Structure 1
Amino acid sequence: MDNRKKGVILSYLYLVIQTVVNLIYVPMVLNLLGKSEYGLYQLVASVFAYISIFEASISSGVLRYYCNVNVSGDTKKKENILAIARIIYRILSVIIVVVGLVGIHFFRIYFKNSLTEAELNESSIMLVILIINMIVTMSNAIYLATINAHERFAVLKILAIIVQLMQPIICAFVLVRFPYAMSITVIQLLLNCMVSIYRFYYSRTVLSVTVRLHEFDSNLAKNIILFASSILLASIADQIFWRADQILLGKMYSTTVVAVYSIGAQIYTNFSFVGTAISSVFFPKLSFLFSQKNGIEKISELFIQVGRISFQVVFLVLTAFYIFGKEFISFWVGKYYMEAYYIAMLILVPFTIDIIQNLGLSILQVVNKYNFRAKMYFVSAIANVFTTYFMARTWGGIGAAASTGMTMFVTSGLILNIYYQKIIKLNVVLFWKNILLIFVKLLPVVVISYLGNEMIQLPETAIFLIIKMSLYSIFYFSVLYLLVMSDEEKNILKGIVSSIKFRRYKS
């Protein structure tokens, strides 16, 4: 089984584990911390997200240039790129410390009327811990890029699975004794240190990665920073989309309202991993295809293929939540949080477009056209802040979610698709013909299942909910395999299943 298939399989395994863990972890944390402390944790995480995007931005720039050189096999250039990137990271670490400390000051001013003095003091300490966490991540980012460039996705996914399993176990023991939001940030810092040490060890010993400055190429450094700047701008816009709602609600209402909204946010955040699990492993391949003759045509074919597979998986999750979501939330966190269902649905529907076209973001990076997406998202995100403010004042969390959902539809659903078609020359028309055909074939499954769930009244227990969701999944996949999947998609599925069986037999 090749590295990409391993990466996709492990990504979905991680998604399943993450979902199961969250089913236990979120109610546990809510019970141990209480709504106010949990809301405070989500609020601080929202603010810190703006600082943490620096690492992801520069890492993308390093990955792009390192992948290009890795194909040629020039060891000297690879060492030099990583050395230059390390210098950039060190400078950014200083900037993050300065920005973080200033941010803490303004955080206290902004929330002084909506948070208690104790909450302000605790949140300030949490932000300091998160800044330290970010410095650890920054120092390790070049090794993350090298592991991705060598397509060792399995290593990264296994690490993510280990952390996903360890965090709730450690939290369960610690929060009983220290039931504070700050405790979670300390645990996250320790786990991140563990992961960073292993990435360093793996890159140096297994991949034999060496970081050595042969000459400081100012032009390369400039290109990395310029490329990363567009990623950074888009990342800031993304964080405004996903985090501004909670910050505004925290200012206008209370941490309790933020806690309710954050439950909806947990749902659409987990939803995002369903589609990105596939597209996240294709960056090195896109770089290779782009260097070939008729590269865009080949990339366009891959864009459609990955989009079809992503939609088949994403549509199952979206429709299952539509049918059973209210029951799920009731059992998961309680009927008090039922508003989270509507918050999640208002964002999940337009977000589906962004998820199934997630490979398009990597394509923009490869063809060096990401700057358009960055500028467009930044402008629309700022506009979204204003519409969210006015809509949230009237309809609370529902209004905030509706504003964000509408903005996403205009940007990802309309503007970006036109750009893909006209400028990048991807065959977007054919892409949506494929998606529409899949939708039409699967729609009867959704309608029949929804009506059946409404008409057949079963006892409201977790066991019956699991049975209903399992039956729906079987019904969905049966129709999907018989009427929707192409021969190529069936062969991919058979290959994955055969590989899993073979590996199990060998073990």
Structure 2
Amino acid sequence: MNFSQRKVGAVLSYLSIIINTLLTLAYTPIILNYLGDAEYGVYELTASLVAYLGLLSLGFGGAYIRFYYGYKVKNDDSGIRKLNGLFIIVFMFMAFIALFLGIILILNLDTILSGKLSIGEISLSKKLMSILVVNIFLTFPTSVFEAYITANEKFIFQKVIMLIRLILSPVLGIPLLMIGFKSVGLVIVTTLISFFALISNSYFAIKKLGMRFDFTSIDKKLLKAISVFSSFIFLTMITEQINWSVDKFVLGKFVGSLAVTSYAMGSIIYRAYQQLAASIVNVFVPQINRMVSNDESDMEITKLFAKISRIQMYVLMLFLLGFFAFGKFFISNIWLNKSYIESYYVALILMSASFLSLIQSIGIDIQRAKNLHRFTAIVFFIVAITNFFISIPLAIKFGPIGSALGTAITVTIGNGIIMNIYYYKRIGIDIFYYFKEIILVLRGMIPAILISLIIYKINIKSIYEFIGYIIAFVIFYCFTSWYLSMNKFEKDLVRKPIKSLINIIKNKYHSL
């Protein structure tokens, strides 16, 4: 049952990414048309600032699954109820703290954003922030129910809700844009969708999965254990927020709202790329925690680590090479226009720098399952602070591309070099076995890399040429990967669904 949930969940994850990417690509130009570059920049900047309030979860959400399985393997239902009660109390407390700090942030926004933004832009930011603070408030209790659903491996429900949320955004947002609500309408929609997520997740967790709570007493030892464990997840969250959001703040304060918009367009592409990696990792998190709780060997965990990384690599490399070869034409002639050419380089820099860390993203969950994530959190935090100080002069001199370069340098050092040394020295990952598996995959991608370099030099003149080259490139990539990279397990991931579909069609045909 759980294996089926993982398979269908993974399929739905990729489906949601495809739909999200298509909707984003179609929806963003519409938003830009109604808002204009300057207001869109203020909208993105405000959203990135409010996102810092989400850090008040203190990493507790990432700790839930590990402690849940600690009780689950012992069939301790009473412990699970106490865990649920503790998490609800903590998260509701943090939700109110976030609301309070959000109000303080709004009252001091003139000082925080003074610089390149106009008085009108700062005033708009205050309006948007007032609504987005309520949105953040709603996400705190929602995350508890989502964690419980994930721990029970009900991925199908989660992915269906995700699809609904993706579709609701433009369905509700476009009418509000058309009647003149502009960016205020967009944040209202975001908040309504968060409310929908809270209601649907809480109903499913309580009514369908039987989630129960024990509020009779707070287990102080449990709270202390969770707090120690979560403190380093919290540090990692701060790091992630700095690495991927500070660029917008730096650009908004030192360069201007137009630079924020240009960077935001590139980061939209990067977020789609990032989601490709996260989609498959999410469905394996419970399995990782179960393996560690059952004391399975480091070699078995290494093999799963390599297996997941290989699968991610096929998808992420295709996306990366495809964007390198065709992204400039796509952004300049199809999606936006030539004035956004900087967005191409922003996206390409971020995607290239994060490639290794994204195919290894399950490694962070392995560290957490083993309670060995402290060192990583500290290193990432130091690297993120370095990113902030590097990005300021780079942004002032080179604009959005400079900000992206600052992030790329720090991510390469922290997430790439230092992290792999730590996997080998402390986590127990056989890094030589791991990279041997990765090199075997890379072998079949070398021809596609060379072809992408050739296509990059070609002057594509029409959308028909663009589509034709993409189709030819994808076919070539799949052909070389199939014959030069894929092992039997990976080929079966492709063959079995196709065979099942053929059998279903045959059975329906014979029944007619």
Task: Name the structure 1 match of 2:184.
Answer: 182
Task: Name the structure 2 match of 1:381.
Answer: 384
Q: CA deviation at 1:69?
A: 1.8
**Higher mean C-alpha deviation, range 123-132 or range 411-420:** 123-132
2:431 to 412, 420, 428: 428
The answer on whether the counterparts of 1:6 and 1:154 sit within 8 Å (CA) in structure 2 is yes
1:118 paired with 2:120, answer: yes
The answer on whether the counterparts of 2:177 and 2:185 sit within 8 Å (CA) in structure 1 is yes
Mapped to 2, the partners of 1:337 and 1:458 lie a distance apart of: 18
Task: Name the structure 1 match of 2:159.
Answer: 157
Q: What is the letter of the counterpart of residue 492 of structure 2?
A: N
- SS class of match (1:72): coil
Task: Name the structure 2 match of 1:482.
Answer: 483
Task: Name the structure 2 match of 1:391.
Answer: 394
Q: CA deviation at 1:470?
A: 2.3
Cα 1:70–1:470 shift into 2, 3 Å: farther
Task: Name the structure 1 match of 2:405.
Answer: 402
Deviations 1:241-281 (A, max 9, x none): 11111101101111111000111111111110111211111
- Coordinate RMSD, CA, aligned: 1.9
Q: CA deviation at 1:107?
A: 2.8
User: TM-score normalized by structure 1?
Assistant: 0.95
User: TM-score normalized by structure 2?
Assistant: 0.94
Cα 1:4–1:211 shift into 2, 3 Å: same
**Higher mean C-alpha deviation, range 466-475 or range 179-188:** 466-475
Deviations 1:192-218 (A, max 9, x none): 111210111111121111122353210
The answer on whether the counterparts of 1:140 and 1:200 sit within 8 Å (CA) in structure 2 is yes
The answer on whether the counterparts of 1:76 and 1:214 sit within 8 Å (CA) in structure 2 is no
The answer on whether the counterparts of 1:384 and 1:403 sit within 8 Å (CA) in structure 2 is yes
1:465 paired with 2:431, answer: no
Task: Name the structure 2 match of 1:99.
Answer: 101
Aligned-residue sequence identity (percent) comes to 28
Mapped to 2, the partners of 1:257 and 1:203 lie a distance apart of: 43
Task: Name the structure 2 match of 1:79.
Answer: 81
The answer on whether the counterparts of 2:60 and 2:226 sit within 8 Å (CA) in structure 1 is yes
Deviations 1:355-394 (A, max 9, x none): 0000001001100111211111111111111111111121
Cα 1:286–1:500 shift into 2, 3 Å: farther
Mapped to 2, the partners of 1:111 and 1:454 lie a distance apart of: 42
Cα 1:458–1:388 shift into 2, 3 Å: closer
Cα 1:12–1:238 shift into 2, 3 Å: same
1:358 to 347, 358, 361: 361
Cα 1:329–1:230 shift into 2, 3 Å: same
Q: CA deviation at 1:293?
A: 4.2
Q: CA deviation at 1:237?
A: 0.8
Mapped to 2, the partners of 1:228 and 1:419 lie a distance apart of: 20
1:441 paired with 2:469, answer: no
Cα 1:170–1:392 shift into 2, 3 Å: same
The answer on whether the counterparts of 1:234 and 1:378 sit within 8 Å (CA) in structure 2 is yes
**Higher mean C-alpha deviation, range 439-448 or range 387-396:** 439-448
- SS class of match (2:445): helix
The answer on whether the counterparts of 2:320 and 2:351 sit within 8 Å (CA) in structure 1 is yes
Q: CA deviation at 1:419?
A: 0.3
**Higher mean C-alpha deviation, range 491-500 or range 353-362:** 491-500
Q: CA deviation at 1:505?
A: 8.1
Cα 1:365–1:238 shift into 2, 3 Å: same
2:297 to 283, 295, 306: 295
The residue correspondences of 1:135-146 to structure 2 (distance < 5 A) are 135-146=137-148
- SS class of match (2:73): helix
Cα 1:499–1:299 shift into 2, 3 Å: farther
Task: Name the structure 2 match of 1:311.
Answer: 313
Mapped to 2, the partners of 1:389 and 1:449 lie a distance apart of: 33
Structure 2: gaps (5+ residues): none
Deviations 1:26-53 (A, max 9, x none): 1111111110111111000110111123
Mapped to 2, the partners of 1:350 and 1:306 lie a distance apart of: 20
Q: CA deviation at 1:140?
A: 2.2
Q: CA deviation at 1:158?
A: 0.9
Cα 1:494–1:129 shift into 2, 3 Å: same
Q: What is the letter of the counterpart of residue 324 of structure 2?
A: Y
Q: What is the letter of the counterpart of residue 365 of structure 1?
A: R
Structure 1: gaps (5+ residues): none
Mapped to 1, the partners of 2:245 and 2:94 lie a distance apart of: 22
Mapped to 1, the partners of 2:76 and 2:347 lie a distance apart of: 48
- SS class of match (1:368): coil
Mapped to 2, the partners of 1:179 and 1:478 lie a distance apart of: 49
**Higher mean C-alpha deviation, range 318-327 or range 97-106:** 97-106
2:174 to 168, 172, 175: 172
Q: What is the letter of the counterpart of residue 316 of structure 1?
A: L
Mapped to 2, the partners of 1:318 and 1:56 lie a distance apart of: 33
Task: Name the structure 1 match of 2:338.
Answer: 335
- SS class of match (1:384): helix
